[in-house]
Amino acid sequence: MLLVPLRRRRSGSLKTRAAAPKRGDSIMAANKIPVAIQLYSLRDVAPKDVPGTLRKVADMGYEGVEFAGYYGLAASELAKMMADCGLRCAGSHVGMNLLEGDAFEETVAMNKTVGNDRLIVPWSDLKDMQSIVANLNKVHARAKAAGMRVGFHNHKNEFEMENGISKFDFIFAGTPNDFLMQLDIGWAAAAGQDVPAILRKYARRIETVHVKEFSAENPKAAVGEGSVDWPSVFNVLEKETSVKWYVVEQEKFDIGPMESAKTCIENMRKMGR
């Protein structure tokens, strides 16, 4: 079973190090939120060696992955690669083209095989908000009937105002409460938003968040090395929402993508996550 890899659209832009955790250290206490990596972060290396990349991120201490395309592999192959290194699937970014028409059934089958029921739409052109919300509701209803959930992931542009409401709020005002919100914390911070306030407002919709840094001075800052108030963010997430996964994402790098992934998980551990 093969699916066309998703091409992510990006908008705008976004020191210490500790020893890498041993593999066994990734088994976290029951009250800890597991940490996954969005594989878009590793887009320059993963297609060349998918099983090797998965093994490396598992060895760093990541407990899961979020897909952004499937590298032309069958679902059973991906499921085995993940199982071989003890990784779980935290979610999958899928374009609207893979949630409509005949592609829908293949998308659902693919994700059920890899153990995922969260299908996150990663971007929209935001040109016709009424149509966008109508289409999101259609795919949400169809996915729900198939035992799946659909949600939306923001970039920076969603926080632009239109007719007195942000496009971000318009999307969630027009969708049911079980339509998931995956907040990209870095992009929200880049847009000047009050991240804890957004998390509180949409607490019922949160199962995964993108743990991404923002720094006006350094658009390549790793998680924990910029200006996001992570203690406040984690406090709200863990006390007021039903978050199930922290999904690390890094789009730009001062160092290589694998080195950046390692730095991010090390910094997450320093912050107690």
What pTM value is reported for the model? 0.89
Q: Residues 217-268: pLDDT tens digits?
A: 999 999 999 999 999 999 999 999 999 999 999 999 989 999 999 999 999 9
Nearest Cα neighbor of 198 from 182, 218, 176 is 182
Q: Which two tokens stand for residue 231?
A: 């203690």
In a domain, 26, yes or no: no
What is the DSSP-derived secondary structure letter of residue 222? P
In a domain, 111, yes or no: yes
In a domain, 17, yes or no: no
The Cα–Cα gap between 262 and 82 comes to 18
Q: Residues 153-205: pLDDT tens digits?
A: 999 999 999 999 999 999 999 999 999 999 999 999 999 999 999 999 999 99
Q: Which helix (H) or strand (E) holds 188?
A: helix 185-190
Per the document, the length of the chain is 273
Q: CATH number of the domain that 245 lies in?
A: 3.20.20.150
Q: Residues 28-56: pLDDT tens digits?
A: 345 799 999 999 999 999 999 999 999 99
Q: In this predicted structure, what is the pLDDT of residue 254?
A: 86
Contact 258, 54 (CB under 8 A): no
In a domain, 14, yes or no: no
- Number of domains composing the chain: 1
Helix (H, G, I), strand (E, B) or coil at 100: coil
Count of beta carbons in the 10 Å neighbourhood of residue 132: 20
Containing structural domain, residue 210: 34-270
**At 15, is the pLDDT very low, low, confident or very high (cuts 50, 70, 90)?**
very low
Q: Cα-flanking dihedrals φ and ψ of residue 30, to 5°?
A: -60, -25
In a domain, 15, yes or no: no
